[in-house]
Structure 1
Amino acid sequence: KRKIKLCRICLNPTEDDICHICQDETRDQNVICVVEEPDALAAIEESGVFHGTYHVLHGALAPLDGIGPEHLRLSELLVRIAGGRIEEIILATNPNVHGEATALLITNMLKEKNIKITRIAMGVPMGGDLKYIDKMTISKSLEFRRGI
């Protein structure tokens, strides 16, 4: 019986020291997609469109619940970035108050570094009907609109 542990690079649960994603040499090792939890990583992987690496924070900022920056796996992210090969950080935290606060914290932590920082798009889901979409989602959809 094998024991599940955290990948020593991205902190995704794995049976090995390094997970299959971090071991995959075909992936772009210069791009890190930061997610709150392993299930978000799994959802992105299932889409089949992202070919970089990940970093799992194992949480999001929630000061009222006693979860501060020291409870997130941020130091490991900074160590990876200090290695010097990272060109882009994609912030894929959840589109809620905690995820937004976490994304802002990471952005502020990294603003002095020479790294492109991007945030996943937010808005109306494919197949969605606008009359059923909440005001905040409509607002974000308009704010993050793009040309066609």
Structure 2
Amino acid sequence: MDTELDDLVQALRCLPGVGGKSARRMALHLLERDREGARRLARAVDAAVENIGHCSVCRTLTSAETCERCLDPDRDDQVLCVVESPGDVMAIEAATDFNGRFHVLLGRLSPLDGIGPEELGLDRLEERLRQQGTEELILATNTSVEGEVTAHYLAEMAGRLGIRATRIAQGIPSGGELEYTDAGTLAHALSGRRDY
């Protein structure tokens, strides 16, 4: 295989769920049928990598210092929804009418992988809870073992601060990822949250 073609195939394999055959099929499609689409893709990826970072408040992805959600004065400061990834924020926003604030952990507690409270910046979250006037902390971590451990840790933090902790669970399959849950199930889970 040509070196540049092989490099393209290998680069496409960095995407989740894309194996060798899928990467090769994508590369061939871009080169044989959609070269302008390939150029557009390359420009978009390059611009995103250069310009998108994390919000200084909630840590979701944004091209600004502070994201639009955090700057929106109509959002409810008393409700803070904690999720694992920016994809979870997008999934909840697309599937529900949630109008509170978000905080993105950028992971989950996993002692076996060396991911503890410091790596997730939980001290920043605790400070935010103290300053924002939060009354309810929605624990929207995934239902994996690590997600449950993270939810338990956050519930204890909320309890120490006198903040009600609720947990979404209804309808989300055990071990499931929020980002890939359908809109109806996610909306039902969020509206049916319970005290943790």
TM-score interval, smaller chain:
0.7 to 0.9
Q: Distance in 2 between matches of 1:94 and 1:71?
A: 18
Q: Quote how far apart the aligned CAs of 1:123 are.
A: 3.2
* Residue identity in the other structure for 1:66: G
* Residue identity in the other structure for 2:171: G
Q: Quote how far apart the aligned CAs of 1:121 are.
A: 2.4
Mapping of residues 1-148 of structure 1, within 5 Å: 3-123=51-171
Q: Distance in 2 between matches of 1:83 and 1:124?
A: 31
Deviation string, structure 1 residues 19-73 (Cα, Å, up to 9, x no partner): 0111112211211100011111110011132111100000001112221222112
Aligned residues: 127
**Rg bigger for which structure?**
2
* Residue identity in the other structure for 1:65: D
**What is the TM-score with the length of structure 2 in the denominator?**
0.60
- Between 88-97 and 21-30, report the one with greater CA deviation: 21-30
SS at match of 1:40: helix
Please give the root-mean-square deviation of Cα atoms over the aligned residues, in Å.
Answer: 2.0
Which runs of 5 or more structure 2 residues have no equivalent in the other structure?
Answer: 1-46, 174-191
Deviation string, structure 1 residues 58-112 (Cα, Å, up to 9, x no partner): 0001112221222112111111111151111100000110100000011112212
Aligned to 1:129: none
- Between 95-104 and 25-34, report the one with greater CA deviation: 25-34
Which protein has the bigger helix share?
2
Q: Distance in 1 between matches of 2:126 and 2:140?
A: 17
Q: Where does structure 1 differ by over 6 angstroms across 4 or more consecutive aligned residues?
A: none
